Amino acid sequence: MKQTNLILYVTYFSQEKICFLTVGDEKGAGLFLLSGPEIFIKEVGPKVAEILNGKGSINRGNYQGKANKLSQKGKAEKLIQETLSSKDSQVKSQDNSSQEKEP
């Protein structure tokens, strides 16, 4: 019987309390979970599944799925980071414009 080494990765994006977890053959198939604010999960979860050549759904506030290409995990992490940076920039922009309007 062939033994497969499973590798567990957990990536925390602390500002928004986002967790991206993968488990499986690091160059093959496995499972993933994306946890965080619901609005973020709905936006990013399906994109992560697409990058990992997999599928998933929202279950108990998390986006869980099967991945066929965990080798693309880095691209998924980059997408999460870029989305968080974009959201952070939008919030800062809104804060600055509201400060300018105050007397």
Instruction: Assess if residue 65 is contained within a domain.
Output: yes
Query: pLDDT-based confidence at 86, cuts 50/70/90?
Result: confident
Number of domains in the chain: 1
Q: What is the span of the domain harbouring residue 25? A: 7-94
Across the strands, what pairs with 98? none
CATH number of the domain to which 21 belongs: 3.10.310.40
Show the tokens assigned to 70: 């965990």
Q: What pTM was estimated for this model as a whole?
A: 0.75
Instruction: Assess if residue 2 is contained within a domain.
Output: no
For 52-71, the pLDDT digits (tens) are 999 999 998 899 999 999 99
For 46-99, the DSSP string reads HHHHHHTT-EEEEETTEEEEEES-GGGHHHHHHHHHHHHHHHHHHHHHHHHHHH
CA distance 22 to 61: 17
Percent of the chain topping pLDDT 90: 48
Instruction: Assess if residue 29 is contained within a domain.
Output: yes
